[in-house]
């Protein structure tokens, strides 16, 4: 079976401007799958804070009109336009901000698959270090599509970092999302969250989400879960993944 992977990174992939996780994850997947792996582009604002705001606003429910949203439609255009998408086993890989874009795109693709459009088989969705709450309407909609057989596999729990209090901060409402966001940024103002602040990006003593983003080990952990534990790329990819991360 032919496999096709699309990666929704936490920030725009640009040569020489990426954290250690993104660089290493890209390199591992590119070495294993070559042209069958690509990074979704053009879904990022020049100001990183605007990406956070976009995600906080859309982490709760599926968009009613996804094609009218530039970021979602841009990602869908890249997936659908790929000549191998229609016949391959498609997997959407994501991290942090990118997980919200991937989840919104996945809802649209599942609806299209239900109608007999775009894809020839159910696809996989991996939501790593995600802002999406597993209690949100967006996540529950994805699980519903999985139960209906339109999505083959959703990987969520295994790709979260234990102790990362940014996990699921999107909550079930926008009010909850912004309250949580302020809480992890200014933990001294709340009893719900402990420090360090999410704004602290020190690679050693900073917030765990930031520390892990600057760690090559996180890329190895992702690869191990996706290609070895879940075998999303088949047996050959599993063998190559073991060699690469050993």
Q: Is the backbone of residue 230 left (phi > 0), alpha (psi -120 to 50) or beta? A: alpha
d(CA 207, CA 224): 24
Provide DSSP, 33-66.
HGGGEEE--S---SSHHHHHHHHHHHSSS--SSG
What's the distance, Cα to Cα, between the start and end of the chain in Å? 26
pLDDT in tens, 10-65: 976 555 557 899 999 999 999 999 999 999 999 999 888 999 999 999 999 999 99
Q: Say whether 219 sits in a helix, a strand or coil.
A: helix
Q: Domain-by-domain residue ranges, the chain?
A: 3-167+208-245
Cα dihedral: 210, 216, 222, 225 (round 10): -130
Contact 56, 132 (CB under 8 A): no
Predicted model pTM: 0.95
Give domain 3-167+208-245's CATH architecture.
3-Layer(aba) Sandwich (3.40)
pLDDT in tens, 60-79: 999 999 999 999 999 999 99
């Amino acid at each position: 079976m032919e496999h096709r992977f699309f990666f929704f990174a936490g920030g725009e992939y640009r040569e020489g401007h990426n954290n250690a996780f993104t660089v290493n994850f890209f390199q591992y997947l590119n070495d294993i799958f070559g042209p069958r792996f690509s990074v979704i582009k053009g879904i990022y604002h020049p100001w990183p804070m605007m990406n956070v705001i976009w995600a906080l606003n859309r982490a709760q429910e599926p968009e009613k009109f996804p094609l009218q949203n530039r970021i979602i439609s841009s990602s869908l255009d890249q997936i659908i336009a790929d000549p191998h998408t229609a016949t391959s086993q498609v997997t959407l890989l994501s991290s942090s901000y990118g997980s919200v874009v991937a989840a919104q795109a996945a809802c649209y693709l599942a609806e299209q698959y239900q109608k007999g459009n775009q894809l020839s088989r159910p696809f996989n969705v991996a939501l790593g270090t995600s802002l999406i709450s597993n209690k949100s309407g967006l996540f529950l909609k994805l699980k519903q599509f999985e139960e209906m057989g339109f999505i083959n596999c959703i990987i969520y729990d295994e790709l979260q970092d234990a102790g990362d209090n940014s996990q699921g901060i999107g909550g079930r409402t926008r009010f909850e999302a912004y309250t949580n966001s302020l809480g992890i940024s200014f933990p001294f103002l709340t009893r719900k969250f402990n420090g360090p602040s999410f704004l602290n990006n020190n690679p050693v003593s900073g917030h765990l989400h930031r520390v892990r983003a600057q760690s090559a080990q996180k890329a190895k952990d992702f690869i191990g879960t996706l290609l070895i534990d879940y075998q999303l790329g088949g047996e050959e990819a599993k063998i190559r993944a073991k060699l690469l991360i050993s």
